[in-house]
Copies of this chain bind each other. A is one copy, B any other.
Protein backbone atom coordinates (compact mmCIF):
# COMPACT_ATOMS: atom_id res chain seq x y z
CA UNK A 1 0.00 0.00 0.00
CA UNK A 2 1.43 3.40 -0.91
CA UNK A 3 1.49 5.94 1.88
CA UNK A 4 -0.73 9.02 1.68
CA UNK A 5 2.12 11.35 0.65
CA UNK A 6 3.41 9.14 -2.15
CA UNK A 7 2.59 10.95 -5.40
CA UNK A 8 3.89 8.11 -7.60
CA UNK A 9 1.29 5.48 -6.69
CA UNK A 10 -2.46 5.48 -6.09
CA UNK A 11 -4.19 2.57 -4.40
CA UNK A 12 -6.94 1.16 -6.62
CA UNK A 13 -10.37 2.67 -5.92
CA UNK A 14 -13.31 1.54 -8.04
CA UNK A 15 -14.96 4.97 -8.25
CA UNK A 16 -11.68 6.53 -9.44
CA UNK A 17 -11.19 3.78 -12.01
CA UNK A 18 -14.70 4.40 -13.34
CA UNK A 19 -14.00 8.16 -13.45
CA UNK A 20 -10.92 7.51 -15.58
CA UNK A 21 -12.59 4.91 -17.83
CA UNK A 22 -15.51 7.20 -18.51
CA UNK A 23 -13.16 9.91 -19.86
CA UNK A 24 -11.35 7.99 -22.58
CA UNK A 25 -13.92 8.24 -25.39
CA UNK A 26 -14.07 12.03 -24.99
CA UNK A 27 -10.28 12.30 -24.86
CA UNK A 28 -9.86 10.41 -28.13
CA UNK A 29 -12.77 12.28 -29.69
CA UNK A 30 -11.19 15.63 -28.78
CA UNK A 31 -7.84 14.49 -30.15
CA UNK A 32 -8.98 12.87 -33.40
CA UNK A 33 -12.41 13.95 -34.65
CA UNK A 34 -12.18 16.07 -37.77
CA UNK A 35 -8.48 15.50 -38.39
CA UNK A 36 -7.59 14.70 -42.01
CA UNK A 37 -7.81 10.95 -42.71
CA UNK A 38 -4.06 10.81 -43.31
CA UNK A 39 -3.50 11.61 -39.63
CA UNK A 40 -6.00 8.97 -38.48
CA UNK A 41 -4.09 6.39 -40.51
CA UNK A 42 -0.61 7.59 -39.57
CA UNK A 43 1.58 4.98 -37.89
CA UNK A 44 5.17 4.38 -36.80
CA UNK A 45 6.14 2.00 -39.61
CA UNK A 46 5.94 -1.76 -40.11
CA UNK A 47 3.19 -3.42 -38.10
CA UNK A 48 2.69 -0.49 -35.71
CA UNK A 49 -0.83 0.82 -35.18
CA UNK A 50 -2.49 3.99 -36.36
CA UNK A 51 -5.02 5.96 -34.25
CA UNK A 52 -7.68 4.23 -36.38
CA UNK A 53 -6.25 0.79 -35.48
CA UNK A 54 -6.09 1.72 -31.78
CA UNK A 55 -9.73 2.78 -31.80
CA UNK A 56 -10.76 -0.52 -33.40
CA UNK A 57 -8.76 -2.36 -30.74
CA UNK A 58 -10.48 -0.42 -27.97
CA UNK A 59 -13.93 -1.18 -29.42
CA UNK A 60 -13.07 -4.87 -29.63
CA UNK A 61 -11.79 -4.82 -26.04
CA UNK A 62 -15.14 -3.54 -24.78
CA UNK A 63 -16.90 -6.38 -26.57
CA UNK A 64 -14.52 -9.26 -25.94
CA UNK A 65 -12.17 -8.50 -23.10
CA UNK A 66 -12.86 -6.29 -20.14
CA UNK A 67 -16.42 -6.73 -18.89
CA UNK A 68 -16.57 -10.36 -20.11
CA UNK A 69 -13.54 -11.14 -17.94
CA UNK A 70 -15.02 -9.28 -14.96
CA UNK A 71 -18.10 -11.46 -15.36
CA UNK A 72 -16.05 -14.66 -15.60
CA UNK A 73 -14.26 -13.82 -12.33
CA UNK A 74 -17.52 -13.08 -10.51
CA UNK A 75 -19.47 -16.04 -11.92
CA UNK A 76 -16.86 -18.73 -12.42
CA UNK A 77 -13.75 -17.68 -10.49
CA UNK A 78 -10.46 -19.37 -11.20
CA UNK A 79 -11.97 -22.51 -12.72
CA UNK A 80 -12.53 -21.02 -16.16
CA UNK A 81 -9.48 -19.59 -17.92
CA UNK A 82 -10.20 -16.33 -19.75
CA UNK A 83 -10.55 -16.59 -23.51
CA UNK A 84 -7.37 -15.23 -25.12
CA UNK A 85 -7.84 -11.71 -26.42
CA UNK A 86 -7.28 -11.27 -30.15
CA UNK A 87 -4.99 -8.29 -30.57
CA UNK A 88 -5.47 -8.35 -34.35
CA UNK A 89 -9.28 -8.53 -34.42
CA UNK A 90 -9.71 -4.85 -35.23
CA UNK A 91 -8.11 -5.17 -38.65
CA UNK A 92 -11.04 -7.20 -39.97
CA UNK A 93 -13.68 -5.56 -37.76
CA UNK A 94 -12.70 -2.00 -38.73
CA UNK A 95 -12.35 -2.62 -42.47
CA UNK A 96 -14.41 -0.09 -44.40
CA UNK A 97 -15.35 1.91 -41.30
CA UNK A 98 -14.53 5.56 -40.79
CA UNK A 99 -12.88 7.25 -37.85
CA UNK A 100 -16.13 8.97 -36.77
CA UNK A 101 -17.83 5.52 -36.86
CA UNK A 102 -15.21 4.09 -34.57
CA UNK A 103 -15.30 7.08 -32.20
CA UNK A 104 -19.06 6.65 -31.88
CA UNK A 105 -18.78 2.87 -31.52
CA UNK A 106 -16.19 3.22 -28.76
CA UNK A 107 -18.22 5.80 -26.85
CA UNK A 108 -21.33 3.59 -27.06
CA UNK A 109 -19.49 0.40 -26.11
CA UNK A 110 -17.72 2.07 -23.19
CA UNK A 111 -21.03 3.45 -21.95
CA UNK A 112 -22.52 -0.06 -22.11
CA UNK A 113 -19.52 -1.49 -20.27
CA UNK A 114 -19.72 1.04 -17.46
CA UNK A 115 -23.46 0.51 -17.06
CA UNK A 116 -22.81 -3.24 -16.97
CA UNK A 117 -20.07 -2.75 -14.41
CA UNK A 118 -22.30 -0.61 -12.19
CA UNK A 119 -25.03 -3.25 -12.35
CA UNK A 120 -22.64 -5.82 -10.88
CA UNK A 121 -22.46 -3.79 -7.63
CA UNK A 122 -18.87 -4.83 -7.01
CA UNK A 123 -17.82 -4.70 -3.35
CA UNK A 124 -14.36 -4.25 -1.82
CA UNK A 125 -14.34 -7.95 -1.03
CA UNK A 126 -15.09 -8.79 -4.67
CA UNK A 127 -11.89 -6.98 -5.74
CA UNK A 128 -9.85 -9.80 -4.18
CA UNK A 129 -11.68 -12.49 -6.14
CA UNK A 130 -9.59 -14.10 -8.86
CA UNK A 131 -9.66 -15.54 -12.33
CA UNK A 132 -7.16 -17.37 -14.49
CA UNK A 133 -5.34 -15.55 -17.26
CA UNK A 134 -4.20 -17.75 -20.16
CA UNK A 135 -0.59 -16.50 -19.87
CA UNK A 136 -0.21 -15.18 -16.29
CA UNK A 137 -2.35 -17.59 -14.29
CA UNK A 138 -4.04 -16.19 -11.19
CA UNK A 139 -5.11 -12.54 -11.43
CA UNK A 140 -7.48 -10.61 -9.21
CA UNK A 141 -10.48 -8.52 -10.17
CA UNK A 142 -8.61 -5.50 -8.75
CA UNK A 143 -5.71 -6.17 -11.13
CA UNK A 144 -8.07 -6.60 -14.09
CA UNK A 145 -9.85 -3.32 -13.40
CA UNK A 146 -6.59 -1.41 -12.79
CA UNK A 147 -5.29 -2.82 -16.08
CA UNK A 148 -8.39 -1.66 -17.93
CA UNK A 149 -7.60 1.92 -16.79
CA UNK A 150 -3.87 1.74 -17.50
CA UNK A 151 -4.54 0.14 -20.91
CA UNK A 152 -6.73 3.09 -21.92
CA UNK A 153 -4.05 5.56 -20.87
CA UNK A 154 -1.36 3.52 -22.60
CA UNK A 155 -3.25 3.85 -25.87
CA UNK A 156 -3.93 7.58 -25.38
CA UNK A 157 -0.17 8.03 -24.92
CA UNK A 158 0.43 5.89 -28.01
CA UNK A 159 -1.97 7.89 -30.20
CA UNK A 160 -0.33 11.15 -29.07
CA UNK A 161 3.10 9.71 -29.82
CA UNK A 162 2.10 8.42 -33.27
CA UNK A 163 0.77 11.86 -34.20
CA UNK A 164 3.80 13.70 -32.79
CA UNK A 165 6.25 11.49 -34.66
CA UNK A 166 4.74 12.49 -37.98
CA UNK A 167 6.75 15.70 -37.50
CA UNK A 168 10.03 13.94 -36.64
CA UNK A 169 11.86 15.69 -39.46
CA UNK A 170 9.78 18.86 -39.51
CA UNK A 171 10.78 19.86 -35.97
CA UNK A 172 14.45 20.05 -37.00
CA UNK A 173 16.92 20.49 -34.11
CA UNK A 174 14.10 20.61 -31.54
CA UNK A 175 13.94 16.84 -31.86
CA UNK A 176 16.49 16.69 -29.05
CA UNK A 177 14.03 18.32 -26.62
CA UNK A 178 10.97 16.27 -27.61
CA UNK A 179 11.05 13.05 -25.66
CA UNK A 180 8.10 11.63 -27.55
CA UNK A 181 10.19 11.84 -30.72
CA UNK A 182 13.66 11.14 -29.34
CA UNK A 183 12.31 7.96 -27.77
CA UNK A 184 13.23 8.59 -24.15
CA UNK A 185 10.38 8.66 -21.68
CA UNK A 186 12.21 11.10 -19.31
Contact = CB atoms under 8 A, between A and B. Distances in A.
B180 A11 contact: no
A143 B178 contact: no
Interface in A134-173: 136-137, 139-140, 142-144, 146-147, 149-151, 153-154, 156-158, 160-161, 163-173
Interface residues of A, number: 68
Copies of this chain present in the complex amount to 2
A157 B147 contact: no
A19 B163 CA distance: 12
Interface stretch (A35-43, A54-62, A89-97): A35-43
A118 interface: no
Nearest to A149: B167
A114 to B, nearest CB: 15
A180 B168 contact: no
A158 B178 CA distance: 11
Interface of A: 2, 7-12, 16, 19-20, 23, 26-27, 29-31, 34-36, 38-39, 41-45, 48, 50, 133, 136-137, 139-140, 142-144, 146-147, 149-151, 153-154, 156-158, 160-161, 163-174, 177-181, 183, 185-186
